[in-house]
Amino acid sequence: MSRPLKAFFKQAHRNDISNHSANPAFSGIAEAYLSRRRFLQGVAIAGATASLPLLLTPRRAVADAVRTGLSSPAASLGFASIPVSTADSVTVPEGYIARPFYRWGDPVGLAGNQPAFRPDASNSTEEQAAQAGMHHDGMAWFSLPHHQDNADHGLLVLNHEYIDNGMLFRDGTANWSPDKARKGQNAMGVSVIEVQKQDGEWQVVRPSSYARRITVNTAMQLTGPARHQPLMQTAADPGGERVLGTMQNCANGYTPWGTYLTCEENWSDIFVKHAALTPLEKRYGISGHDTSYRWNEVDARFSVDSTPNEPNRFGWVVEIDPYDPASTPRKHTALGRFKHEGAAVTVTADQRIAIYMGDDQKFEYIYKFVSDNRYQPDDRQANMQLLTSGTLYVARFNDDGSGDWLPLVFGENGLDAGNGFENQGDLLIKTRLAADVVGATKMDRPEWIAVDPHHPGSLYCTLTNNSDRGKPGAAPVDAANPRANNQFGHIIHWDEAQADPAATRFRWDILALAGRTDNRDSAAQGSMQGAEFGSPDGLAFDHRGVLWVQTDVSSSTINQKAYQGMGNNQMLATVPGSNTFRRFLCGPRGCEITGIAFTPDNRTLFINIQHPGEPGDGITDPANPRAVSNWPDNHPDGRPRSATVVITRADGGIIGT
């Protein structure tokens, strides 16, 4: 997701390129495909910019949209697009109400342990473990009671992606200690909170028997082929079975049987190795330099010199049962190890489970997992094993508009000892290297993936940006990315063959090229109509079939010339096939908009405001935490706080209509 503190912590890995394979980049493939389309349709090629209207007509033509039924009568936008905003507030259309709901430091609701947030950041390490973590991200709704679509009472489960030591401590990283590192670890992970609508107002239920914080030190089990592998074994866990914690939890997913999937993205930012890096460590972005987290200085788990296999135990998708606070989260190694952005779940034609995942780094890949066994709606216990075995695929986008899902299976397509793989478990620990070998297509930072709920096998993925586009030695400027130093990104779409997520073939096109809707700079020209945006990130459908897009322009970029006049980060909506976007929400200064969760009746929307007040570079100055933002509390001696925001219509109607 974004950036400068995020840039400092999170985007550092994105400014590096770990993928130096010779695999084709998506840019070149798109150019070849689109050039062919221009030739077949008799269109003169007058440069990439001139070809954009043809290039980005959604679903290739209006006929395609009608044929596939994308323009569903139920899916429409009934609100007027709001103006861009630079205010330090959350702005929504007239007739809507947006209220901060669950903020960093708010008590999660543990019985007998509900410490209040202290605006001067003096909460103890132990108190932080019972409070909301920092930097809210992916999120999902689960109705109460289980198996019912209750829209007024449920559980929200949300990620806390990373920390800012300048915000977390009154003195920043001065007087560094194991206790400070542990407080930071307690500010990451996942929250499970119970929420209920009473007398028209949403509230967090406290205390709650469901309330839970999952942190960097919560015990977890490993499942799947990489369990017991030598590369997963440590002195603390010689069997390679049990891991402490999850961290850098970015986007998410949720399953039909009512579990939450949290995704470990930038875990490599925390590990440090001073000795020479191995090829595997380099491919995953392990650093040879101390980071501002500084955990490696006081916790040997994060010093690769001391615990060389610990990094291999991160980079997975973790399944959590929100209905059972005593349950042990499980890291499912069958889904592969990389920098997981999200996990979009759907059911195949033969009732297996398919999960789509992006690897959020420049020139990395899009993956799909298909379970071996079938989903059984009436057998939750059997379903709890579905993610322990299956086939992992990686995408190849061909120049004729077709695509292939390439299986990452030991013994096939060069995935053998000759290329450094010992068995399937070993291969999955080295997922990126396996994808390199089979010839997957390099993408421009694949982030969230959304499954169209009304059109099986139709999917969308945000490709946020790629500042290395067009640089010497990198992918060239082309029709799909007609800007060097691509700061705006795009949204790609594909249809699985036979509308079946289990298919190994697909057809692809581009929904929208983000950028400006005016003509001030043709190199930044977007293809969409209506509200302009850049750096698309969060992506989800509501129950009606409206696609919601959230942006994540870094604080170091948002004030640059290319983005001038585009305001703070925002949330937009579109009906695929219309090519029209409407701006629904603008966030406060220095924030990212992320996390999307609708109640089953589509009358309540929860979103997350992450890192309000993020500086342009480095961590927050602890002596001046309010330099950029003071949202949402506006406390004179406080600090900005990431928060879940609850959004409703004043008349109680359906969101977006």
pLDDT at position 215, please? 98
Please name the amino acid found at residue 318.
Answer: V
Mean pLDDT computed over 236-249: 98
pLDDT tens, residue by residue, 117-145: 999 999 999 999 999 999 999 999 999 99
| pLDDT over 60 (residue 3) | no
Which CATH number belongs to the domain containing residue 34 in this structure? Answer: 2.120.10.30
pLDDT at position 561, please? 84
| pLDDT over 70 (residue 545) | yes
Domain assignment present for 141:
yes
Torsion of CA 629, 633, 636, 640, to 10 degrees: -40
- The residue range of the domain holding 169 is 5-649
CA angle 594, 616, 84 (to 5 degrees): 50
Please name the amino acid found at residue 110.
Answer: L
Specify the 3-state DSSP secondary structure of 655. coil
**Residue 22 — very low, low, confident or very high, per pLDDT cuts 50/70/90?**
low
Domain assignment present for 378:
yes
Asked if residues 194 and 298 have their Cβ atoms less than 8 Å apart, the reply is no
**For the chain, how many structural domains are there in total?**
1
Q: Pull the structure tokens for residue 189.
A: 């992970």
Q: Pull the structure tokens for residue 9.
A: 């912590």
pLDDT tens, residue by residue, 632-649: 999 999 999 999 999 999
d(CA 48, CA 54): 10
pLDDT at position 40, please? 28
Supply the mean pLDDT for the chain. 89
d(CA 234, CA 79): 55
Least confident range from 6-15, 142-151, 211-220, 507-516: namely 6-15
Mean pLDDT computed over 226-239: 98
* 437 φ/ψ angles, rounded to the nearest 5 degrees: -65, -40
If we measure between CA atoms, which residue out of 528, 491, 524, 523 comes closest to residue 509?
491
Domain assignment present for 199:
yes
Please name the amino acid found at residue 443.
Answer: M
| pLDDT over 90 (residue 42) | no
Least confident range from 74-83, 402-411, 433-442, 495-504: namely 74-83
Asked if residues 543 and 602 have their Cβ atoms less than 8 Å apart, the reply is yes
pLDDT at position 469, please? 72
Domain assignment present for 657:
no
**Residue 523 — very low, low, confident or very high, per pLDDT cuts 50/70/90?**
low
pLDDT tens, residue by residue, 435-464: 999 999 999 999 999 999 999 999 999 999
For 284-440, strand residue ranges (E) read: 317-320, 330-332, 344-347, 352-358, 362-364, 366-374, 390-397, 402-407
Q: Point out which residues pair with 504 in neighbouring strands.
A: none
Longest dimension (CA), the chain: 72
| pLDDT over 80 (residue 621) | yes
**Residue 15 — very low, low, confident or very high, per pLDDT cuts 50/70/90?**
low
Domain assignment present for 656:
no
Mean pLDDT computed over 532-541: 97
Least confident range from 70-84, 265-279, 477-491: namely 477-491
d(CA 132, CA 213): 8
pLDDT at position 62, please? 29
Domain assignment present for 654:
no
Domain assignment present for 355:
yes
Sheet containing strand 536-541, edge to edge, reads 529-530, 580-586, 570-574, 547-551, 536-541
Q: Point out which residues pair with 194 in neighbouring strands.
A: 155
Domain assignment present for 60:
yes
d(CA 176, CA 194): 35
